[in-house]
Structure 1
Amino acid sequence: MDNKFTDIHTQDFKFNDGWGKIHAISTGTVSVKEAFRSTKKNQWTSKLEFILQNKFTAPLPIWVWVIEHPEGKFVIDTGENSKVSEPDYFSQEGILKEWINKNQFKFNVNKDRELHNLLPKLNIEIDHIDQVLLTHLHLDHIDGLKFFSNQKVLLNKEEWEKPSFALKSLLPENFNPSLFETNESHLDFKNTKSITKARDLHFIHTPGHTFGHCSILASNDRHDHIFFGGDMTYTSDQLKYSEMSGGHIDFKKAQNTIKTVSEFCKANKAIFLPSHDPYAGLRLQERNYFS
């Protein structure tokens, strides 16, 4: 696996009430159809395009972000687990979803890349994590939830009530997330939810990839920003050039999201970190701002 993905990338960050750390960890890789990652088709023909296509991308990281904050330790998404490659892993999801997940994606996840085995490299145990922050319910973002039995899991209510291709059979038994509504505003964003008392960590509703998809914004009173984009784009360049992913459920919402976030990141000192960008970890470590 590429060192960009196996290395842990860390950046110190000044939150409003003190210094903390932000870490990038990849829980393995996934290859997707090239037209799933990027398309020039419309919302409907793009789906047929990537299903019929045989060309896969190079392996892409499955980033998990660990935030050591003055108010506690947070994990953004939970990554994949090694069982994803087992033949019957998707058998409870019906013929169509099973076929799609076995044929449209290629996962490479070893047990030593599972999140619970990576956190100790940061001198953090699973029990030290206070909250799990989910961007959305796609499997490569929720498949490490089984390692978190005591933590509060935060999820946008709209994502829970109106899921887009979520595989609920993969969720832990009796999974009961803490649902929130994005009925606040923060900076340039009208649909947000504050996570911390210091109001330096927020959910930002960024629909398009799914209806309830949320990004997370870390910011401080010095006007530094780190924007954890989830799957709103696959790369920083897609944000810069307004490129669509064939996997988005609603292209119009995705276009509006990309426009709003791109304008914010250009106008402010922001590091943009999508969940599958090969260079996101290095961008965090090197403090490479969006431009």
Structure 2
Amino acid sequence: MRIPTPLRERGIDRAVAWSIPMTTRFRGLTERDGILLRGPEGWAEFSPFWDYDPVESAAWLRAALADATQPRPAAVRSEIPVNVTVPVVAPALAARIARVGGASTAKVKVADPGSDLDQDAERLAAVREALGPGARIRIDANAAWTLEEALAALPVLERAAGGLEYAEQPCASIEDLAALRRALDVPIAADESVRRAEDPLRVARAEAADVLVMKVQPLGGVSRCLELADQAGLPVVVSSALESSVGLSAGLALAAALPELPHACGLATAALLTGDVVDRPLHASAGMIAAQRPVPTEELLERYAAPAQLAERWEIRLQECAAQL
């Protein structure tokens, strides 16, 4: 793959497109793909979702470029507590997934077009039964509800779950999040209102969230996330963008460097991929993942190399995003 001049000038000497099927449909995806970039500090990942245009995707490229060419910040912890992520699946499968990796926190997807409120409640009840009364359960609606729908749904889902740690992005607008937070006792976490906002800190200033969800790539890199977290003054949950283990390791670096980490992080998503580009994927054990920087192998890069047409699309996309730097 041709490397754009701005990247080559910064020390990027290799770019490889990859594609890996998902274990189950997640966020409308059945496979995940992206580019791995190699620089002086090691391999990094550039994998914006396809609904991001070149301008928005440029932040993802800045993150990958920084990770491949600059040292990661000093860590204050060596292991990161993580949650298990439960997709929109039947209750029995949800219960099985919830037990994978030994996590004591589960994030359960809700408000999907293929699932109604009763089915969401049944899924939550199954996860609670699987994990027990001491577990933490959070839900993620991906901004699917109106304010009125959220006001109706959250009490139902909180009862079904036996208590919610928080509700992640129940509504799209910051104004609706703030109104919901004032109306209900369920803590609110902001995700899309942070990573897809021109001003990621507006949600904090509006007192519209109790927790900020940060994803390294869309926010422009580990150092940028640390700056935003310091300015926001709210607890942070580091989450993945469904990356390979190369990309997940940047999230682990952020979680390892945060001064405080009161919540489990959403970084155990390698389990949602049927394969990986490293020999030992970053899977959870006893609810923890060690902060580390795995290296992809040539065998796995070849096995999961993107098909020619997809690789060409990524090469064009890389050129377009590099032009935005």
Query: TM-score band (shorter)?
Result: 0.3 to 0.5
TM-score, length-scaled by structure 2: 0.30
Q: RCO higher in 1 or 2 (8 Å CA, sep ≥ 6)?
A: 2
Structure with more strand by fraction: 1
Structure with more helix by fraction: 2
Flag the structure with larger Rg. Answer: 2
